[in-house]
Amino acid sequence: MVAAMTAAARGGVTVRVPAKINLELIVGPRRADGYHDLSTVFHAVGLYDDITVTPASQWAVTLSGPYRHLVPETGDNLALKAARLLAQRAAAEAAADPEPAEEVEEPSRGPLRQVPSKPEEPQGIGPVHVHIAKEIPVAAGMAGGSADAAATLVACDALWQLNTDREVLDELAAELGSDVNFALTGGTAIGSGRGERVAPVLSRGRYHWVLAVAKEGLSTPAVFAECDRLRDDRGEHDIPDPQPSPDMMAALRGGDSHALGAALRNDLQEAALSLRPDLQEVLDAGLEYGALGGIVSGSGPTLAFLVDGPEGALDLAVALTASGVASDVKRAVGPAHGAHVLNAPAGT
């Protein structure tokens, strides 16, 4: 919050965005474009990146926090891509729909003349410095890059006072990545398509999670490729269209953490464990120490354990750390709000 106040003083905007886990991830057949149709239940958890955008003379991105060395401080950074994409979109919209020319009186020449507006340079839109205070583990199946992209869209929209329609933000989010739309939304929601189509789900309750973060990340495309390989090896060619499972829907409707623990499902888990067999020991340990359920988060390698409250979370975190099977253990509560502004830009 102090950072947000400092950012406001410098004319910047700070947005907080949560990590996600997948309570259910059902992988359908591979599509012609290489993606897979998914049915997933996204769940935002209270582990956040804070993104601050400040007007600057050129586009730039910097990072702080424990995972900063794993993320590029270049144009490849998804947050910078998001800022530029929104700027382009706003400029294109301004060019397509220019402000009507103003009529002004010129005292020296008498008659009125037309002063055209400058649609190619919408007021206030220009390079920004994006700073990411990174607490979401990287390449961990928690959609940290997507979260940063979503937060940057929201931050630049506020900084440039664009008031972009939600439909347009969703369009840009889908262009940036499959998990960006959910990071805008937060809470608990169903994702379909390749994950970019997000719809609300009837869900009650707050859930306590213990997250075992691995030292080395896993590449999402590599995990999907391994999933395809394992299916091919088994001769599984008739993969049904993915649908949310009735057990998961019932558990969420009832706000029942025991039922939720039993309903956790991830079709990528086998592939993640095949690429990283060492994770099985951590998964077994979490369940042995009393978790209500445990699952690989998304494409992994983070493991998410559901527990029955804050004390259970502390006990499990201590047990996992003390046993030495997991080096980086975090606790988080879900659902959490999607990308939201922490400070108002000056002048709004």
Name the E strands within the chain: 13-30, 36-55, 60-64, 102-105, 112-115, 128-133, 188-192, 197-200, 207-213, 265-266, 293-296, 303-307, 328-334, 340-341
Q: How far is the CB of 123 from ligand ATP (least distance, A)?
A: 28
Q: Which region, judged by CB under 6 A, interacts with ligand ATP, from 143-151, 202-210, 239-247, 311-319?
A: 143-151
Find the angle CA(309)-CA(310)-CA(316) to the nearest 5 degrees.
Answer: 90
Euclidean distance between CA atoms 306 and 251, whole angstroms: 13
Task: Return the number of the residue (138 or 273) whose C-beta is nearest ligand ATP.
Answer: 138
Give the residue at shortest CB distance from ligand ATP: 145
Q: Which of 38, 47, 71, 159 binds ligand ATP (CB under 6 A)?
A: 71
Active site residue 20: yes
Task: Return the number of the residue (78 or 263) whose C-beta is nearest ligand ATP.
Answer: 78
Tokens 């991105």 map to which residue?
A: 61
Question: Is 245 flagged in the annotation as binding?
Answer: no
Q: How far is the CB of 143 from ligand ATP (least distance, A)?
A: 4
Six token digits for residue 183: 């990071």
Which one of 50, 157, 170, 179 is the catalytic residue? 179
Residues 6+ apart with CB under 8 A from 234: none
Q: Count CB neighbours of 112 within 10 A.
A: 11
Q: How many CA atoms lie within 13 A of 17 on its CB side?
A: 34
Euclidean distance between CA atoms 283 and 261, whole angstroms: 13
Euclidean distance between CA atoms 183 and 42, whole angstroms: 9
141 is an interface residue for ligand ATP by CB under 6 A: yes
Which one of 20, 81, 134, 330 is the catalytic residue? 20
Question: Is 318 flagged in the annotation as binding?
Answer: no
Euclidean distance between CA atoms 96 and 132, whole angstroms: 33
191 is an interface residue for ligand ATP by CB under 6 A: no
Question: Is 115 flagged in the annotation as binding?
Answer: no
Q: Which region, judged by CB under 6 A, interacts with ligand ATP, from 68-76, 236-244, 314-322, 337-345?
A: 68-76
Question: Is 122 flagged in the annotation as binding?
Answer: no
Q: Are strands 265-266 and 112-115 parallel, antiparallel or unpaired?
A: unpaired
Residues 298-317, interacting with ligand ATP (CB under 6 A): 298-299
Task: Return the number of the residue (51 or 169) whose C-beta is nearest ligand ATP.
Answer: 51
338 is an interface residue for ligand ATP by CB under 6 A: no
Q: Count CB neighbours of 101 within 10 A.
A: 11
Site string for ligand ATP, 74-113 (x = CB under 6 A): --xxxx----------------------------------
Task: Return the number of the residue (146 or 257) whose C-beta is nearest ligand ATP.
Answer: 146
Question: Is 142 flagged in the annotation as binding?
Answer: yes
Task: Return the number of the residue (125 or 296) whose C-beta is nearest ligand ATP.
Answer: 296
Euclidean distance between CA atoms 139 and 271, whole angstroms: 15
Q: Are strands 197-200 and 188-192 parallel, antiparallel or unpaired?
A: antiparallel
Active site residue 179: yes
Q: Which region, judged by CB under 6 A, interacts with ligand ATP, from 69-77, 154-162, 184-192, 309-317?
A: 69-77
154 is an interface residue for ligand ATP by CB under 6 A: no
Euclidean distance between CA atoms 256 and 248, whole angstroms: 10
Euclidean distance between CA atoms 292 and 209, whole angstroms: 10
Q: Which of 138, 239, 249, 275 binds ligand ATP (CB under 6 A)?
A: 138
Q: Which region, judged by CB under 6 A, interacts with ligand ATP, from 84-92, 134-142, 239-247, 256-264?
A: 134-142
297 phi and psi angles, rounded to 5 deg: -85, 120
Residues making up the annotated binding site for ATP are 137-147
Active site residues: 20, 179
Residues making up the annotated binding site are 137-147
- Could you list the residues that contact ligand ATP (CB under 6 A)? 70-72, 76-79, 132, 138-146, 148, 179, 220, 298-299
